């Protein structure tokens, strides 16, 4: 991880998008869209409803096809990259016929990693992030927050190069949201993983982010890549910090201007 | 609405509740037996009032006594086993062919679309309409009854399994895909499991249908054993106690098969509905 604050121009791009086109039913969402996401930073994606925040990370993760353009992750085609992805709805993305442990091990098992090593790797993850879970349980027996934790661990277990999260807190109650947000920060601090989080909550977007990617209405373009370099670990107290308030106000102003357009 | 308003304005009226409790039915566990007892009561009342001649409708007690006697001393057990064996054979054939084929069809949408009409058509056709056709091909031997029932089971199972795969949640398939699973792994680890609840519905309907078709086939395709044969013979020689007893036994078999499948369902597909 980088220690000294880095001036904006020196952000080292890790995920690059060039000339991306995507239309839904003839309506263009992205047209010749270009984007660089910095290595080892947490970027949150924020923008008006329907601007295609989730669509964007889904395309970068290879979950949905795009019409034209190029996505590279770590200098190679995105299809060759190891990707961790956390879905908005844990209930529909975990496998309820498997136990929690088998869910987390699944990405290793499809790669043919021996069983003993799978378990070892999961235990290491749990220890690193101080997570206590009864992994013998089936996923539907766990609480919503625990299920989303399983989903995050599953996304991390195969040591991805980039971690995408699509509104990971929107199906959780507030208490769980705070807890999982904390865990996500711990994960980020421990791994320094390039992380992209789609958020529909501006406060949360700024709180979590090194960079807030503010998107426009359709056809979508980048309004601004807002920097927020307050050191981690961050606690909820920083939400009253002048720098936080200023950054949030700036983002809100840009967002309002974009809505009024 | 009125109760809400009243309880809001008169909170002291609450002690009325324990009195109301006194009028509640004592044990909920007894509720399920009320229906059968009432049924037997009505049946007995019809006999006692001589609404129907005894030669057409014996009393429930005569019928049940005959049923027990024929099970222990008579040939009822032989017929039960014949019907049950045919039903299970037909079910096994239909399931063994139907489930893999249905899953394969469901995984291949273009293939499914091309046979969808055929499956729907045969599924909608009363299987009994095909009995003469099956007699032509299979003769009137035992294999005929199993074949036609097996065919019916197959149609139901194929449709349900295919449907289960097609309606697999896209998000789980995507999740497996982004984790690097191959098409085969996605099929084996996700689609197959996603289809299981619907497949089980097919199997449960399938075994019920198998019993229906086997009993009908036993009635109309020459056979020496089986409940269908026994029922129609009881009617023709006016041995009505035997006829009613056989009908009841057929019902019990159908009911038990259903219960077994429901238990298996909640055991094997533990995640269903959660």
Q: How far is B171 from chain A (nearest CA, A)?
A: 6
Q: Would residue A63 be called left, alpha or beta, if left means φ above 0 and alpha means ψ between -120 and 50 degrees? A: alpha
ipTM of the complex model: 0.87
Residue B252, Cβ neighbours under 10 Å: how many?
12
CA B66, CA B13: separation in Å to the nearest integer? 58
Best residue in B164, B167, B169, B171 for a mutation probing chain A (most A CBs within 10 Å) = B171
CA A195, CA A210: separation in Å to the nearest integer? 10
Q: Give residue B96's pLDDT.
A: 96
SS3 state of residue A115: helix
> Which of chain B's residues have a Cβ under 8 Å away from the Cβ of A82?
180
Residue A5, Cβ neighbours under 10 Å: how many?
8
The pTM of this model reads 0.80
Q: What are the start-end ranges of the H helices in chain A?
A: 53-60, 90-93, 100-110, 115-128, 144-156, 174-191, 202-208, 242-260
- Closest CB to B271: pick one of A61, A96, A110: A96
**What is the phi/psi pair of residue A75, to 5°?**
85, 0
Best residue in B172, B179, B193 for a mutation probing chain A (most A CBs within 10 Å) = B179
Tokens describing residue B148:
């036609």
Put the strands of the sheet holding A13-24 in their side by side order: A27-38, A13-24, A68-73, A76-77
Q: How far is B109 from chain A (nearest CA, A)?
A: 19
Put the strands of the sheet holding A83-86 in their side by side order: A83-86, A162-166, A194-198, A42-46, A211-215, A222-227
Within a 13 Å sphere around the CA of B234, how many CA atoms are in the beta-carbon half? Answer: 23
**In terms of CA atoms, which chain A residue is nearest residue B179?**
A107
Question: Which residues lie across from A165 on neighbouring strands?
Answer: A86, A197
Taking alpha carbons only, the member of A46, A144, A11, A7 closest to residue A89 is: A144
In 3-state terms, chain B is what percent helix, strand and coil (to 5)?
80, 0, 20
Tokens describing residue B167:
């309606």
> Which of chain A's residues have a Cβ under 8 Å away from the Cβ of B197?
none
Chain B CB within 8 Å of residue A89 CB: yes
Tokens describing residue B112:
């499914």
Chain B CB within 8 Å of residue A62 CB: yes
Question: Which residues lie across from A122 on neighbouring strands?
Answer: none
Angle between helices B192-220 and B131-138 (to 10 degrees): 80
Q: How far is A1 from chain B (nearest CA, A)?
A: 25
- Geometric angle at alpha carbon B168, from B187 and B114, rounded to 5°: 80
Q: Would residue A9 be called left, alpha or beta, if left means φ above 0 and alpha means ψ between -120 and 50 degrees? A: alpha
Q: Do A61 and B178 touch (CB under 8 A)?
A: yes
Q: Give residue A165's pLDDT.
A: 96
If you average pLDDT over residues B41-67, what whole number do you get?
Answer: 91
Which chain B residues have any C-beta within 8 angstroms of a chain A C-beta?
Answer: 169, 171-172, 174-182, 185, 189-190, 193, 196, 270-271, 274
CA B78, CA B230: separation in Å to the nearest integer? 11
Q: How far is A97 from chain B (nearest CA, A)?
A: 6
Best residue in A65, A83, A89, A95 for a mutation probing chain B (most B CBs within 10 Å) = A95
pLDDT tens, N- to C-terminus, chain A (261 residues): 445 554 555 688 999 999 999 999 989 999 999 999 999 999 999 999 888 999 999 999 999 999 999 999 999 999 999 999 999 999 999 999 999 999 999 999 999 999 999 999 999 999 888 888 899 999 999 999 999 999 999 999 999 999 999 999 988 899 989 999 998 999 999 899 999 999 999 999 999 999 999 999 988 999 999 999 999 889 888 999 999 999 999 999 999 998 888
Chain B CB within 8 Å of residue A209 CB: no
Question: Which residues lie across from A15 on neighbouring strands?
Answer: A37, A73
Higher pLDDT, residue B16 or B262: B262
């Amino acid at each position: 991880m980088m220690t000294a604050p880095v001036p904006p121009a020196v952000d080292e791009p890790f995920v690059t998008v060039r000339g991306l086109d995507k239309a839904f039913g003839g309506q263009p969402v992205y047209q010749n869209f270009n984007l660089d996401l910095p290595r080892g930073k947490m970027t949150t994606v924020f923008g008006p409803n329907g601007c295609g925040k989730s669509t964007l990370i889904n395309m970068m993760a290879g979950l949905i096809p795009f019409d034209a353009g190029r996505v590279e992750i770590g200098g190679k085609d995105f299809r060759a990259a190891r990707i961790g992805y956390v879905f908005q709805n844990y209930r529909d993305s975990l496998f309820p016929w498997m136990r929690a442990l088998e869910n987390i091990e699944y990405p290793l098992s499809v790669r043919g990693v021996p069983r003993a090593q799978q378990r070892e790797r999961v235990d290491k993850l749990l220890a690193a992030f101080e997570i206590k879970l009864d992994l013998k349980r089936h996923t539907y027996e766990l609480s919503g927050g625990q299920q989303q934790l399983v989903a995050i661990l599953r996304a991390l277990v195969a040591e991805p190069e980039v971690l995408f999260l699509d509104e990971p807190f929107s199906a959780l109650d507030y208490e769980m949201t705070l807890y999982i947000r904390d865990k996500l920060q711990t994960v980020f601090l421990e791994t320094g993983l390039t992380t992209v989080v789609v958020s529909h909550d501006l406060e949360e977007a700024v709180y979590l982010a090194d960079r807030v990617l503010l998107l426009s209405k359709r056809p979508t373009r980048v309004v601004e890549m807002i920097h927020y370099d307050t050191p981690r670990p961050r606690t909820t107290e920083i939400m009253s910090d002048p720098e936080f308030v200023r950054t949030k106000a700036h983002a809100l102003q840009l967002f309002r201007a974009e809505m009024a357009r | 609405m009125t109760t809400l308003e009243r309880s809001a304005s008169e909170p002291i009226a609450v002690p009325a509740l324990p009195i109301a409790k006194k009028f509640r039915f004592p044990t909920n566990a007894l509720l399920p037996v009320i229906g059968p007892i009432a049924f037997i009561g009505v049946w007995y009342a019809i006999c006692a009032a001589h609404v129907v001649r005894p030669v057409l409708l014996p009393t429930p007690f005569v019928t049940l006594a005959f049923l027990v006697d024929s099970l222990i001393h008579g040939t009822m057990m032989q017929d039960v086993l014949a019907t049950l064996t045919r039903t299970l054979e037909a079910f096994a054939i239909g399931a063994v062919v139907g489930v893999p084929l249905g899953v394969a069809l469901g995984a291949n949408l273009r293939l499914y679309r091309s046979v969808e009409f055929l499956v729907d058509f045969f599924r909608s056709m009363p299987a009994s309409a095909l009995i003469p056709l099956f007699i032509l091909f299979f003769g009137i031997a035992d294999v005929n009854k199993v074949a036609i029932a097996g065919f019916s089971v197959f149609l139901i199972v194929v449709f349900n399994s295919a449907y289960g795969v097609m309606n697999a949640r896209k998000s789980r398939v995507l999740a497996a895909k982004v984790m690097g699973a191959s098409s085969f792994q996605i099929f084996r680890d996700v689609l197959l499991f996603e289809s299981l609840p619907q497949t089980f519905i097919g199997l449960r309907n399938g075994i019920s249908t198998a019993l229906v078709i086997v009993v009908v086939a036993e009635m109309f395709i020459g056979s020496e054993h089986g409940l269908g044969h026994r029922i129609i013979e009881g009617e023709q020689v006016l041995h009505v106690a035997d006829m009613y007893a056989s009908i009841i036994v057929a019902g019990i078999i159908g009911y038990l098969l259903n219960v077994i499948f429901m238990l298996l369902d909640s055991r094997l597909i533990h995640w269903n509905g959660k």
